[in-house]
Amino acid sequence: MTTITQTTSQVTTGSAAPSSAEKASMDYDAFLQLFIAQMKNQDPMNPNDPTQSLAQLASFSNVEQSIKLNEKLDRLIAASDTTLASAIIGRQMSNLDDSISGVVVSVENGPAGLSAILDSGATLLLSDGYRLTGHE
């Protein structure tokens, strides 16, 4: 006769929302708890296939590493945006058809991406393409 026991995992967080790496870590901990419970409660006369168990463990670990890599890439992109912003302030910029042009006085990072605010008051979204022509 096989006995099945219920395993629960409760996660509590503070007021700040956890990052995706923290969520993955919590999910990974829950996965490990379930994995251990499965190993403890398996039928000794009909054990689980160890290659399948290791494959599950490896797959979950790969997902966790991918999440961490994505967070590092996000930080790298943010640093790159900051470097670009500091490099174009004070430079003459225009869009590709020259309908908007001026000297960049500030840079904003909004939902659509980086935007250059020109001395003419116009805004140039950098993801639409741009031309830098030198210093003022």
- In tens, the pLDDT along 22-58 reads 665 567 778 778 878 887 887 777 777 778 777 877 8
Say whether pTM exceeds 0.75: no
| pLDDT value at residue 23 | 63
Single-letter amino acid code for the residue at 72: K
- In the chain, what percentage of residues exceed pLDDT 90? 18
Give the least confident one: 26-30, 47-51, 92-96, 99-103.
26-30
In the structure, what pLDDT confidence band is assigned to residue 69 with cuts at 50, 70 and 90? Answer: very high
Shared-domain flag, residues 123 and 100: yes
Q: Is the CB of residue 126 less than 8 Å from the CB of residue 113?
A: yes
Number of domains in the chain: 2
| pLDDT value at residue 105 | 93
Shared-domain flag, residues 84 and 60: yes
| pLDDT value at residue 93 | 92
Q: Mean pLDDT over residues 59-65, rounded?
A: 82
Single-letter amino acid code for the residue at 25: S
In the structure, what pLDDT confidence band is assigned to residue 73 with cuts at 50, 70 and 90? Answer: very high
Shared-domain flag, residues 30 and 65: yes
Shared-domain flag, residues 79 and 125: no
Question: How long a stretch of residues is the chain?
Answer: 136
Q: Which domain holds residue 117?
A: 90-136
**Helix (H) or strand (E) run with residue 91 in it:** strand 91-94
DSSP-assigned beta bridge partners for residue 14: none
Is residue 97, in this structure, part of any structural domain at all?
yes
| pLDDT value at residue 61 | 80
DSSP-assigned beta bridge partners for residue 110: 113
Shared-domain flag, residues 113 and 99: yes
| pLDDT value at residue 4 | 38
Shared-domain flag, residues 96 and 79: no
Shared-domain flag, residues 64 and 107: no
